[in-house]
Chain A
């Protein structure tokens, strides 16, 4: 690609993730990258998407992105706010959530998620924040979309800990385990889009973002990565998508009194 791109890799990732949501989806939103993408979808092509946060707001429409999962703006703009136990019982486990939008510290080739620990659980090299609502979301949401930056440290051959299950060891594992939801159907990174192979459930690169090579994606992956027979190029962010995302980031920075990288 010649010249500097008109958008950043992070913007490409957020826009690509936002395109996965549709009007009519009921989306259980994780904080950080998933929240940015879900709100971008709401502000662009999917104004009818319902955003649920684990702190209790249902139908949240925040003007700026929340810094925490329980910011006041979520409650103020929601259709209703219920207790945290109710969110998980009636709304998630009750089968009302069509999409779980999650981030992760690490994933493996079957999109299993580690947010607990790097190294041995009892003698951790790095202690991560832990599960949050992800084990229940990964079990019960209709499907799961993962959004995370891709490096050889985040896309690993073997997870030290499976916090939230993706497709476990592949194939029909989820059915065997009796999990109600379909599990991960897409992984969106700053380099590419992946989807599980229909039979083996191993993640397969389906799209490369503009300017990204297959070699670069492989170098940022800890296992021998599979590519679809025909790998397409992800459509670049449109003018309206970029403008809306940048305005959202600006409002967010203003709201939290810091620069727009939250």
Chain B
């Protein structure tokens, strides 16, 4: 059964230095609050996996939490580069970052293989692509029935999966909807799972086929309203597109990035204080 607890406790207990960690959420429901807490607690040498690193991994990489990144698309959506990711890859700052690079169809199905407890996923892709030449975890096999040559990639099985969802009930059963990405797959593939939610309610009131993660599949459930900001939570708040644009300027130089991280994350107690400080600082910007 999941323990309904604070995010600070959950990260303290469940995320360790050197772990293989997945923070998932495809544009929607990105677990920013949990990522910030991992940064605040100073986790080091994590191997991070995520289909779209987004701002959250840009922050974690720049804050020296990660030694390796497994991913399939690493940009600031609709805006441009992830500057901290690029600085780590191009200049080894703040530490060198090993890359393991896939495509979306590949990585999403590597999670399915992980959740299915199979050794690998199989797909029809990569013939003619250079990716298998630089990633030896993309290989080819012959179908035992037809002889067709197919790509194979090893299952993703994180130590910890971290996701954000809309609701949990008091027992810690979790409900999410809208764009689902690979959150369910990541949780089912991982040994431990932390879920932050917008709210905890008496009854989930969901249809039988709704995407629900039963409490007993999770390690911890934490109520963190707004915990996906600046991404969005369908039915609760919209994506903060201006912040995604603003991040381009904040993250471009090391100094402005570090100043922002100190003020907003390292010097704040929790996500609630982060949001308050962010609001104040944004108000100053406007003035």
Contact = CB atoms under 8 A, between A and B. Distances in A.
Contacts of A161: 130
Nearest to B27: A70
Interface stretch (A2-10, A173-181, A197-205, A243-251): A173-181
Contacts of A72: 28, 178-179, 232, 234, 238-239
Contact of A127 (B27, B78, B86, B128): B86
B42 interface: no
Given A57-B179, A72-B234, A133-B103, A165 B241 contact: no
B104 interface: yes
B101 A131 contact: yes
A55 B103 contact: no
Interface stretch (A37-45, A135-143, A218-226): A135-143
Contact of B179 (A67, A70, A163): A70
A130 B28 contact: no
Contacts of B112: 85, 89
Nearest to B184: A83
Secondary structure class of chain A's binding surface, majority of residues: loop
Contacts of A131: 72-73, 101-104, 131
A68 B77 contact: yes
Interface residues of A, number: 58
B86 A84 contact: no
Contacts of B108: 83-85, 87-88
A31 B78 contact: yes
A124 B234 CA distance: 38
Interface string A41-71: 0000000000000111100000000111111
B234 to A, nearest CB: 6
Interface stretch (B118-126, B196-204, B217-225, B269-277): B118-126
Interface of A: 31-32, 54-57, 66-72, 74-75, 81-85, 87-89, 92-93, 112, 116, 121, 124, 126-127, 129-136, 139-140, 161-165, 168, 173-174, 177-180, 255-258, 262
